[in-house]
């Protein structure tokens, strides 16, 4: 079964540094998403992306965050100047569509640790 893959599995970075989290969505999917999960808390929506532009974003997704689909297979999340509170699991998801029977499929996440 096709999977969403994310790299790296764990990223450790100094506060203030830039990080790029990478995702390869399922190949025939058109909608892409980033979510985050702070340790022990529920999964929170960050941003959705379709047709090479952001469709929706949450309040969490401020100017420090950006997304990009640099080629036909990768989808990246960049955090420009990391803060301690950015430490979390970041999940990428993709879906073929947005209706019923087209659920979002998640990768196993990148654990981001900010020191």
Q: What is the contact surface with another protein in residues (CB under 8 A)? A: 4, 6, 31, 33, 35, 38-45, 48, 55-56, 58, 91, 93, 98-101, 103-109
Order across the sheet with 5-7: list the strands: 5-7, 19-24, 75-79, 65-68
Q: Which is nearer to another protein, 18 or 21 (CB)?
A: 21
Task: Write the DSSP symbol of residue 87.
Answer: -
- Cβ-contact 26, 75 below 8 angstroms: no
CA-nearest of 77, 81, 102 to 6 is: 77
Q: Which is nearer to another protein, 20 or 38 (CB)?
A: 38
> Least distance to another protein from the beta carbon of 29, Å?
13
> Least distance to another protein from the beta carbon of 45, Å?
4
Q: Which is nearer to another protein, 12 or 18 (CB)?
A: 12
Asked, as a colleague might, if the bond just before 8 is cis with ω within 30 of 0, I would say yes
Task: Write the DSSP symbol of residue 96.
Answer: S
Q: Which is nearer to another protein, 48 or 82 (CB)?
A: 48
> Least distance to another protein from the beta carbon of 42, Å?
5
> Least distance to another protein from the beta carbon of 91, Å?
5
- Angstrom CA distances, 60 to 2, 54, 65, stand at 29, 14, 9
């Amino acid at each position: 079964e096709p999977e969403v893959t994310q790299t790296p599995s764990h990223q450790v970075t100094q506060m203030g540094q830039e990080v790029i989290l990478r995702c390869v969505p399922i190949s025939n999917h058109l909608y892409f998403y980033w979510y985050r999960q702070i340790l022990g808390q529920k999964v929170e929506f960050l941003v959705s992306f379709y047709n090479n532009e952001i469709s929706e974003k949450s309040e969490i997704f401020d100017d420090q965050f950006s997304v990009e689909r640099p080629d036909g297979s990768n989808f990246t999340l960049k955090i420009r100047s990391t803060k301690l509170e950015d430490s979390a699991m970041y999940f990428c998801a993709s879906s073929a569509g947005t209706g019923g029977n087209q659920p979002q499929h998640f990768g196993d996440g990148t654990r981001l640790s900010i020191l």
